[in-house]
Structure 1
């Protein structure tokens, strides 16, 4: 079943996937695709692998069956994996049901030992200094006019919460919010800013300080375009710059080929922050994916004016450029929900 999908990805035969999915009718389309991506992700994982599990889950932190137990661990390659770190994290209010060496975690440890994988287990591993992160955040916004917050105010927070981004994994986006995050959730081959520690904490969060007190305001903050120097825009510009600076190798960018006004506005974060922040010595190429809505319209593609203008802008920053229309793995994900659309029948008879 998996080999069929790999062949389909290679040959762009999406209707073949559709027939397989319907043959295995008890498996939802999306879960089947995620299973295949999990297999591929596990096979290509190397170095240290980190597994984070919920020690407060009533059914056990390491349930069997599960993607981890049935698909990912069996496909780890012993010659590629140097160590496996198991992090068992309890919810703050408890309960403490599973921990290293006990219950379902003991089962996981036995499985890893039987496969000769070196591993370590940590209970409630403290990944970040939460108090320091909160302090940097409040320093940025407390007792300040909510319309007078700058990117400089958030730089200490961004530096403290920074992380290493593996080369060739960065995925930037503009006008493709829903699709890009569906894709990174399903494939795990790429990281958006919102998939990082800093981005995930603040994604969708409205926040600002109060000019007259040391309090956080989550209810009535200036909108992104309400004033030039508001907390939300200042934070995301700083976080975006940090993410772009940390990117290396091929940096992919998912853009909307069906959107009005071109693929990336001149005032977009992609153009004003991310491209200028890239390290030309670390980034080998900026690769655009121009993704149309399945039902169109096809307003922008690799050879249209707005993309060519963006190409020139990227090259002005001494960055190499390439472009792909309707990147097939993403189009496959689009077709899961609507496989009967003409755009999904791309195999030649």
Structure 2
């Protein structure tokens, strides 16, 4: 009886599964599930920024007007109770706009490529030197959190979420949020901007596809607000330089900036970044300028003593 029922209903079951797979693309996700305690983390970060403990350069009057509970509700409603790959960046537009605060002038820091993340954070110096998106109010609330929804209760999926770009660039909960936030970050950038790129990034320093920089930030830069953009082309210690300001993928970046009317300069291995890289790696040959400086100082002191 059981086997005959199985044979009878199997085509119907397969048909239903096929319909569900057509609607949701039947994607198998490989990322971790939603961060445990995400609401508490979100609200805690919101209160932390509003208190002025994070990036005190942000406009405090603007921050005081933000309602953390309301922001959480906008964020939550953007992606929960929904199949992850059906979430677009536009779903986060209301949250991103409501959380928007002014970007401090002459502080914007752009970058691309995960291998640059630690260098970007070190250079930003907790937003004292430069302000990447992760230190603006919107980015700080969400940075490094994992999140996605599901159609069933409780609305969050705590077991598995799409990994980066598994739904497509700028599609899905996390990709969608960062696409919406990156568009706004580009629109609000003003004054002197720095852009950090890895000269040896696989595929070239400047990626024209699958890149939040190329697809969401650069297209939204306003030449009436941006006075200058410095391309900092970084080569990590012990590596041979890859792309240069004149070769590889950088000429395409320069062309796009020129077409937008953005004034720029390209600097290979800028010394301020090199000093940061050398701080914990003085044994590298590229870092021996410190020894030269010490030698010069010692020689000057010897000459001073001889004169005396």
TM-score (norm 1): 0.62
Instruction: Tell me if 1:244 matches 2:182.
Output: no
State how 1:31-110 maps to structure 2 within 5 Å. 52=52
Structure 2 counterpart SS, 1:260 = coil
Instruction: Tell me if 1:220 matches 2:160.
Output: yes
Structure 2 counterpart SS, 1:285 = strand
State whether residues 207 and 221 of structure 1, in contact with CA within 8 Å, keep that contact through their aligned partners in structure 2: yes
**Matches of 1:219 and 1:182, distance apart in 2:** 33
State whether residues 209 and 216 of structure 1, in contact with CA within 8 Å, keep that contact through their aligned partners in structure 2: yes
Deviation for aligned residue 1:214: 5.4
Q: 1:138 aligned to 64, 68, 76, which one?
A: 76
**Matches of 2:224 and 2:158, distance apart in 1:** 40
Deviation for aligned residue 1:53: 5.9
Q: 2:266 aligned to 289, 298, 323, which one?
A: 323
TM-score (norm 2): 0.70
Deviation for aligned residue 1:311: 0.6
Instruction: Tell me if 1:298 matches 2:298.
Output: no
State whether residues 126 and 135 of structure 2, in contact with CA within 8 Å, keep that contact through their aligned partners in structure 1: no
Give CA-to-partner distance per residue, 1:188-215, whole Å, 9 cap, x none.
2100001112112211111011123452
Give CA-to-partner distance per residue, 1:207-230, whole Å, 9 cap, x none.
011123452234411112211221
- Shift of the 341–147 alpha-carbon distance from structure 1 to 2, 3 Å rule, reads same
**Matches of 2:127 and 2:184, distance apart in 1:** 24
**Matches of 1:186 and 1:163, distance apart in 2:** 17
Structure 1 counterpart SS, 2:85 = coil
Structure 2 counterpart SS, 1:287 = strand
The unaligned stretches of length 5 or more in structure 1 are: 1-49, 55-84, 86-124
Give CA-to-partner distance per residue, 1:73-119, whole Å, 9 cap, x none.
xxxxxxxxxxxx8xxxxxxxxxxxxxxxxxxxxxxxxxxxxxxxxxx
2:85 alignment partner in structure 1: 147
Q: 1:254 aligned to 182, 190, 196, which one?
A: 196
The unaligned stretches of length 5 or more in structure 2 are: 1-49, 55-59, 297-308
Structure with more of its chain in helix, by fraction: 2
- Shift of the 263–234 alpha-carbon distance from structure 1 to 2, 3 Å rule, reads same
Deviation for aligned residue 1:342: 1.0
Structure 1 counterpart SS, 2:119 = helix
State whether residues 252 and 288 of structure 1, in contact with CA within 8 Å, keep that contact through their aligned partners in structure 2: yes
Instruction: Tell me if 1:282 matches 2:225.
Output: yes
Deviation for aligned residue 1:181: 0.6
State whether residues 223 and 230 of structure 1, in contact with CA within 8 Å, keep that contact through their aligned partners in structure 2: no
1:334 alignment partner in structure 2: 277
Structure with more of its chain in strand, by fraction: 1
State whether residues 275 and 317 of structure 1, in contact with CA within 8 Å, keep that contact through their aligned partners in structure 2: no
Q: 1:311 aligned to 228, 242, 254, which one?
A: 254
**Matches of 1:274 and 1:227, distance apart in 2:** 20
CA RMSD of aligned residues (A): 2.3
- Shift of the 164–53 alpha-carbon distance from structure 1 to 2, 3 Å rule, reads closer
State whether residues 260 and 299 of structure 1, in contact with CA within 8 Å, keep that contact through their aligned partners in structure 2: no
Deviation for aligned residue 1:126: 5.7
Structure having greater relative contact order (Cα 8 Å, sep ≥ 6)? 2
- Shift of the 314–132 alpha-carbon distance from structure 1 to 2, 3 Å rule, reads same
Count of paired positions: 231
Deviation for aligned residue 1:328: 1.4
Higher Cα Rg, which structure: 2
1:89 alignment partner in structure 2: none
Structure 2 counterpart SS, 1:201 = helix
